[in-house]
Structure 1
């Protein structure tokens, strides 16, 4: 099936087929649920390009996620130079960039989001706290949304009006997901000396982010409610994408609902442990969407 996906994506050259296969293996290793959803629920012709975009995003994050802020900024500068060189020459010594260049050739919107994403990474390598909702919104607009759009743009509708709705839905979806990330990773982030939960909300509740307590429980519930509102609004995505993409979008939103439920259950315990959706529930959701997709294509 993978060879068929490469064929339908128009990837004929032996080296590029090996490159895309390498990105597929990488995504399957670090993003198992997302990989399964893409393979099961997206049209075959789109899957290699999704793998290329996700692999690039992960590779970038991995390169800039270690060391001091200065070291991370230097790593980003070096990486940005390699990315721009690959686009300028149409080739690279790195398989992940060779795939990215080819995917951007087939899907030109990708190039613009690569640039936005790299610019947003400048904020990612330096942030230590999020002061308030305005700063969280800025973080989402500058970094989180371009990161999502690297892949989401592959599913975007052609019609201008529908595309505007689609981008807005993606914004609401990723804002919800970013809140989940900051809550799920709270204990790890605090140990690293930073927190993505808005500081004014922490102060308003009088929460101690280092240990469970009633105030932290109220803070988590508030943040979960805000994320839940965005998640409900993001359901508009299923109304504007092509029918063949809807099962994937529905599964993606469904997994985020599972994350929301897990955060609510964890409550104040996020101070001491990470949370996440139960794997069996996510698997059942994917199977249901796969079965529904199969019925629609008969």
Structure 2
């Protein structure tokens, strides 16, 4: 029996059709986020893994609907999706195979229900996105969309009971992640007609949108990107408390998530001007070292739990 089959058993997923539905979602997650799927399979406790896969697949499906097609089409598709998911959660059943794993995971991990509904309610923040005039607008987007989205999966890794301290740490961490994403994806976003950096911040550095679209790494543009990466670094450093707030069995995965962000930031800093042409990617050897280190830690935690 493979590790995935053992994980389904540990999570109490017995029905063959439901196991197949979870398996399809695992394949989907691996297709668009291979590194995440690999890390989750190696680092998470087996009983947690299928639920994280279901939550991640739901996130991906929702993001796809919000990002695909013209605005009117996206809004109509998002509205239908919200209604279908809300009805499934209300009734506890669905005819959609792609929602069956989510419903099962919500039943197994009730904390997921509220997070799914919060994220669905936040979808308009992305549909209505028209850029940020100020840093305050960015922070509103963070609270209104980025954090609810992150918490769909993060809630499954958090502590039992009161999660207020954990939520605050997640908020700090996702601020760093979102800011880094907006810098790292700058070229792709501009090519798609989106400016995701606050116009106020551009003005403070004497940079215009046209400067960024020309792709010229002038001293002012480099200073702008460096300042944004500095801010992300500070928030990421503050967000390192995250791992200490989760159960020991989930710490390797959380440390890996933080580590991947750090490696991505390091790659972005290596040549900020290149971000005007393409995103930066973490160095593969460094990624493998990070994954290997956390895998050994995860194995030690599991040995201790079995001994107890």
TM more than 0.5: yes
SS at match of 2:271: helix
Match in the other structure for 1:278: 283
| Runs (5+) with no aligned partner, structure 1 | none
Distance (whole Å) between structure 1 residues aligned to residue 73 and residue 40 of structure 2: 34
Quick one: distance in 1 between partners of 2:161 and 2:76? 40
Residue deviations 1:53-110 (CA, integer Å, cap 9, x gap) = 0000001111221222222211111111111222233222332211111111111121
- 2:128 aligns with 126
Measured against aligned partners, the alpha-carbon deviations of 1:191-217 in whole angstroms (never above 9, x if no partner) come to 222111111111111222111221111
User: Cα distance, 1:235 vs. partner?
Assistant: 0.9
Question: Take 1:142 and 1:157, find their aligned partners in 2: how far apart are those partners?
Answer: 23
CA change 1:278–1:95 in 2 (3 A) is farther
Query: Does structure 2 conserve the Cα–Cα contact (< 8 Å) formed by 1:20 and 1:99?
Result: yes
Residues 238-266 of structure 1: CA deviation (Å, up to 9, x unaligned): 22211111111111111110111112123
Give every structure 1 segment of 4 or more consecutive aligned residues whose post-TM-superposition deviation is greater than 4 Å.
Answer: none
CA distance in 2, matches of 1:226, 1:3: 42
- Correspondence for 2:251: 246
Report if the CA contact (8 A) 1:128-1:193 is conserved: no
Matched, 1:233 2:255: no
TM-score (norm 1): 0.95
Checking the alignment, whether the CA contact within 8 Å between 1:214 and 1:268 is kept in structure 2 is: no
1:264 aligned residue: 269
Cα distance in structure 2, aligned partners of 1:81 and 1:117: 13
| Alignment partners' CA distance in 1, 2:286 and 2:96 | 37
Q: Which residue of 2 aligns with 1:194?
A: 194
Which residue does the alignment assign to 2:306?
none
| Alpha-carbon offset, residue 269 of structure 1 | 2.1
Question: Structure 2-normalised TM-score?
Answer: 0.92
- CA distance in 2 between partners of 1:296 and 1:103 (Å): 24
| 1:221 and 2:223 correspond | no
Q: Which residue of 1 aligns with 2:170?
A: 170
Give per-residue Cα distances to partners, 1:4-62, cap 9 Å, x unaligned: 10011011111111111111111111111111111111100000000000000001111
1:135 matched residue in structure 2: 137
Deviation at 1:141, TM superposition (A): 0.8
Once residues 81 and 284 of structure 1 are traced to their aligned partners in structure 2, the CA distance between those partners, rounded to angstroms, is: 43
Please give the residue correspondences for 1:28-67 in structure 2 after superposition, counting only pairs within 5 Å: 28-67=30-69
Residue 178 of structure 2: SS of its match in structure 1?
Answer: helix
Match of 1:209 among 206, 212, 223: 212
Structure 1 counterpart of 2:27: 25
Q: Is the 8 A contact 2:115 2:148 kept in 1?
A: yes
Equivalent-residue separation in structure 2 for 1:157 and 1:105 (angstroms): 18
* Equivalent position SS for 1:226: helix
Higher mean alpha-carbon deviation, 276-285 vs 144-153, is at: 276-285
RMSD, aligned CA: 1.4
Would the aligned equivalents of 1:116 and 1:142 in 2 still touch at CA under 8 Å?
Answer: no
Give the equivalent residue in structure 1 for 2:111: 109
- 2:249, 2:302 within 8 Å by CA — same for their partners in 1? no
Q: Distance in 2 between matches of 1:153 and 1:86?
A: 20
Give deviations 1:124-161, integer Å, cap 9, x for gaps: 1121211221111111111111111111111111242x
